Structure 1
Amino acid sequence: MRKEFQLRSFKRTFTIDNKIDSEKINARFVNGILIVTLQRKEEAKAASKDIEVQ
């Protein structure tokens, strides 16, 4: 038995949130699996302040 497969290009698009850093998106193809890594942006964290209760 013999099977032949056609190789065609595949394109998939999707939108990302503003919380994703578009400069740090990585993609790699390993053993037939596409691995896409999305990193979140560093959020500006509010400084915590201790308040003494009297």
Structure 2
Amino acid sequence: HPKLKPVDAPTRGVYFAGCVESPKDVKDSVTQAGAAAARAGNVLSAGQVRIEAITARLIP
């Protein structure tokens, strides 16, 4: 939810920072980048991360 987790993208493990979300000034971009880095740091500090394999399938 944008209000509860403003830097989280709908895809797990992807975070927004700066103008990728919406136009904003440098101060707000730097603040948001710090929040995104903190969220990513939480994921990385877990030691192990489970991910789902993405595979392509051909339909003959």
Both structures adopt the same fold (TM-score exceeding 0.5): no
For the pair shown, the structure with the greater C-alpha radius of gyration is: 1
More helix by share: 2
Which is strand-richer, 1 or 2?
1
TM-score class normalised by the smaller sequence: under 0.3
| TM-score normalised per structure 1 | 0.23
TM-score, normalised to structure 2, is: 0.22
